[in-house]
Every structure is written in C-alpha cells, then in structure tokens.
Amino acid sequence: MPALLVWLSGWLAAGLLQQGGAASWALAGGTATAAAASLAIAGGVRRLIAALGFPLSAVALAWVEGPVASFWWLAALAPLALAYPLRAWRDAPFFPTPAGALQGIERIVQPAPGCVLDAGCGLGHGLAALGRAWPQARLQGVEWSAPMAWLAARRLRCARIERADMWAASWAAFDLVYLFQRPETMARAWAKAAAEIGGRPGGGWLVSLEFAVPGVEPAARLQRGGGRPVYVYRIDARSGRRRRSTAVPAGR
C-alpha cells in the first residue's frame, strides 16, 4: 500500500503538469514527486521499488499506446499473481535471505538442531544458509507459491520442500524454525512456535531475520557489519516470559 500511494503521487503530479500546460515536464515532475514520497518508506530495497514504479510504468505505457494498453498491463500482472499470489503477500513480500545473513548462527544455537524448517522459504535462499550452518541437519521448507516451491525443490536437492500454508503446517517436529516475515506477523509466529515447539521435549528455537517478536526478549541477537539483525529465541514451556538478550557483536 505505501508503494501504491507513492506511485499514485507520481501520476497525480504528472497529470497536474500536463493539465497546466507543462506536458514536457510531466515525466520529470512525476518522477521527482514519487522519489520524494518514497523517502517515507523504510528499507533501501522497498524505497527503490517505490521510487522506480512511476517512471517505469510511464515508459511502459508509452510503448503500448492505444486501446491495447489495458491488455498489456493485465498480461504483465497474470504471471506475477501466479508466481506470488495475494495470500503470500499478506505474510511477507518476496525478499530473499541475503548471503551471509545467518553466518555465525551455529555458535548461538546449541546443541545443533537435527531438523530445521524454513517457514515461507521462497526460492530457498534461507534454506541454503541454514544448510551451510548445519550441514548434517534435515532441511525442510514450506512455501505457498507453487512456482517458487517447485523451483526451490530443484535448486536444493538436499532439502524437502512442499507447497503448503506455513500457518496450517505443524512446527512441532522441528528443532528450529526460521522466518523472514514482516513485523505484523511476528506475534502470530511467536504464538504458534510457543504452542507447538514449546511443548516438545527439550523445546527448540525460533530464528527471525530482521524482525523481532514484540514484547519478547531474544536469547541472542546477531548482526554482522551493518547487515540485517537476526533474532534468536529459545522456545520451551516457559516461552511466554521475557528473556535476557545477549548481543553477539559482528566478527565473533
């Protein structure tokens, strides 16, 4: 929604310039307006997507002038909706786990987990990072997007990947569940992990890239060289209590 509002601001500015007799400045004015509005969006990649939306759409429309313009926009949206359906966007937009984001996690999670789940695994970038941390672990991923689950299964032959709803699938069989979600879904993820992982003997771990569980102190926080923070939560029968946080500095 913030990105749509940014794009709308660009089109409104361009429309006002055209109506005001400054059509030659419409593209530049709309682009500048959208770029300024995008500064209100957190995150470099998200801000870039929002800023580029207006000029790219304006150029695309210039190529498909006339009555077929609507058809081309729908044709472009169809594969996007197939690859990443609306239900998946409600959980988290598609942003792969950056390379090296989980480096050092194996020194925090002890003993090494035997069975690891990437809930919402996308194309498998997070599973690959988890496999580097624990080569002997059994890796499993769930992904709602059928094309992404299919591609991830072929990229990572060492992991079991299925097309499923991460919220409906049980987490009880896993020693560690990894997430790269969004702030709005973290409370739900914590409740699910506490209910399903906390009841198993020995408990387990919940690991979240970038987003913390609101009101819950992590067992550790890992961040390397200005990258995204990794929040590590110990799950057991007392998981509702706040825990003391242990900061792990970069390079250690």
For 87-107, the pLDDT digits (tens) are 656 666 667 898 889 999 999
Instruction: Say what the pLDDT of residue 57 is.
Output: 82
DSSP letter at 68 equals T
224 φ/ψ angles, rounded to the nearest 5 degrees: -120, 120
**Considering only CA atoms, which of 137, 109, 103, 104 is closest in space to residue 207?**
109
Domains of the chain: 2-63 (no CATH), 105-248 (3.40.50.150)
Angle at 142 between CA 139 and CA 145, to 5 degrees: 140
Give the gyration radius of the chain's Cα atoms.
Answer: 22
| Residues present in the chain in total | 252
Q: Which residues are CB-contacts of 156 (< 8 A; sequence separation ≥ 6)?
A: 124, 127, 128, 131, 139, 141
C-alpha dist (Å) from residue 221 to 207, 212, 224, 228, 232: 10, 10, 10, 11, 6
Measure the CA–CA gap between 174 and 55, rounded to whole angstroms.
46
For 103-148, the pLDDT digits (tens) are 999 999 999 999 999 999 989 999 999 999 999 999 999 998 888 8
pTM of the shown model: 0.68
